[in-house]
Structure 1
Amino acid sequence: MPNLQFYLGQRASSPDGFYIEDFHNNWYGDYSKLERVHSYIQWLFPLQERGMNYQAKELTKKEIEAFLEDETAKKRLVKSYKLMLDFYGIQLSNDTTGEVRRANNWRDRFDNMDRHTHNNLRITRILKCLGTLGFPHYQAPLVRFFLEETLVKGNLYNVNETVLNYFISAVIVQQQRKELVEYAYKLYEVKHQFVVPKKIKSTFREGTFPRNKNPIDLKPDLKQNGIYSDDSDDNTTSHQSVSLC
């Protein structure tokens, strides 16, 4: 169980050779390293799918079950989450509910997200991992935060469409996904241009959306802006690869 062993401090990441405590103690706040290095995110937030680091290992069902029973591993996962939230200019304001808010450095960190769109993939990975390894209640608050920042406050231009089409879809609780889509629709300025995320259209196929006379718009998704960036190159976009870093 390489991912669980990593979180228990029994093995180092590969190929970098860092232990979980190294990341928590030495990488926190080192924004240049967190941006530049692309091989750590698969160890901090493992999934049941392969990412860009082929020396990282996919989660197995047995490993997930063991992780969920281990309080040390789960507490360290929260530390990893806080590490990356700080990198994105966000704070976990409530460890119990998962509520988040802007950090003091949010302007600089938001600018970094807009310039380096591979972070959209990283955040999608983080959301999926939280849902898999015992923190599904952390997913919706983070997605709601991004909806407010993009649709209400007009920030994170290059994250906007990713929130609607990928972040929401990563939320595993169906009712929360539906509520987030309805919330996004309420905030969306041009209602007739709102596109329901294709991965959760089936939630709304029956009747209207959301609980009023406005018909649901089920046209194909608009061309995405930067969300397919390969983690090896911040400035290229590809519709062939959506590997989550």
Structure 2
Amino acid sequence: MCEDLSAFQPNLDFYMNKSPSEPDGDLIENILNNWKGDYKKLESNCAYIQWLFPNKSQGKNPASYPLNEMEAEIIRQTPELKDRFKRAFKMMLDYFGMELDETRKCFTLASNSDERLKRINTWGNEAFLYISRILLALKECGFEGLMFPWMKFLAQLIYEDKTLDQAEESFEGFWVETLNDADRVEIQAIVADYQQ
């Protein structure tokens, strides 16, 4: 007897608040309502990141699942699920010490930026992997328009302000590659200007 794989939608079930992230996770609404600002929890339990920001790669958590196209399409088209994605993004921006001004689609430093940037600006930490995953999820879940302004802001922090300079390798080796061709060329030009 063949198993019906069309009903298997773990990422969608998580986003619909029907099932918790695994392992040791929670329902998405509980995460969004209770985990924001709990930096110890966000640092110590990294299994949730693959659930909050699903993309087509497996990631490090063997209890998570790659995002399939049907799930991505439903997230892109469902206002409630898009809102959850945006809230998850804002929660992680807070974790990084950043904020999104939605009206202008620009990024700024949050009031906690000194502490948070100092904490994450260490070579090889999980935060850079989180950013990699989030960039891919932005693209696949219908928020590609936020990628370029966020990358422009990250470039400023890395190359001009030097408050996130340990992320340079991740920025050049992976983050830039998530952009479409035109945005990639523009970001590379911005970085070249900073490096002169």
Question: Structure 2 length normalisation: TM-score?
Answer: 0.91
Q: Select which of 79, 91, 99 maps to 2:99.
A: 91
Return the offset for 1:97. 5.2
| Partners of 2:36 and 2:55 in 1: CA distance | 22
Q: What does residue 113 of structure 1 align with?
A: 120
Q: What does residue 59 of structure 2 align with?
A: 51
Q: What does residue 35 of structure 1 align with?
A: 43
Q: Select which of 137, 161, 174 maps to 2:169.
A: 161
Change (3 A) 1:135 1:53: same
What whole-Å deviation, never above 9, does each CA across 1:173-207 have from its counterpart, x for those lacking one?
32111111111111113xxxxxxxxxxxxxxxxxx
What whole-Å deviation, never above 9, does each CA across 1:134-193 have from its counterpart, x for those lacking one?
00011011111111111111222211222122211112x32111111111111113xxxx
What whole-Å deviation, never above 9, does each CA across 1:2-58 have from its counterpart, x for those lacking one?
111111111111112400111111100001111111100000000111111111111
Superposition RMSD in Å: 1.3
| Partners of 1:69 and 1:34 in 2: CA distance | 28
Percent identity for Structure 1 against Structure 2: 31
1:62 paired with 2:70, answer yes
| Partners of 1:162 and 1:148 in 2: CA distance | 14
| Partners of 1:181 and 1:97 in 2: CA distance | 23
| Partners of 1:67 and 1:150 in 2: CA distance | 32
Q: What does residue 228 of structure 1 align with?
A: none
Partner of 2:184: helix, strand, or coil? helix
Q: Select which of 9, 14, 35 maps to 2:22.
A: 14
Q: What does residue 194 of structure 2 align with?
A: 187
1:71 paired with 2:71, answer no
What whole-Å deviation, never above 9, does each CA across 1:97-122 have from its counterpart, x for those lacking one?
53110001111101111236221111
Partner of 1:100: helix, strand, or coil? strand
Q: What does residue 23 of structure 1 align with?
A: 31
Q: How many pairs align?
A: 187
Rg larger for:
1
Partner of 1:59: helix, strand, or coil? coil
| Partners of 1:100 and 1:126 in 2: CA distance | 15
| Partners of 1:71 and 1:5 in 2: CA distance | 15
Could you tell me whether the CA contact under 8 Å between 1:82 and 1:92 is conserved in 2? yes
Change (3 A) 1:178 1:39: same
Q: What does residue 183 of structure 2 align with?
A: 176
Question: Structure 1 length normalisation: TM-score?
Answer: 0.73
Q: Select which of 96, 102, 108 maps to 2:109.
A: 102
Q: Which runs of 5+ in 2 are unaligned?
A: 1-8
Partner of 2:46: helix, strand, or coil? coil
Q: Select which of 137, 161, 166 maps to 2:145.
A: 137
Structure with greater helix share of residues: 2
Q: Which runs of 5+ in 1 are unaligned?
A: 190-245
Runs (4+) of structure 1 moved beyond 2 Å? none
Q: What does residue 151 of structure 1 align with?
A: 159
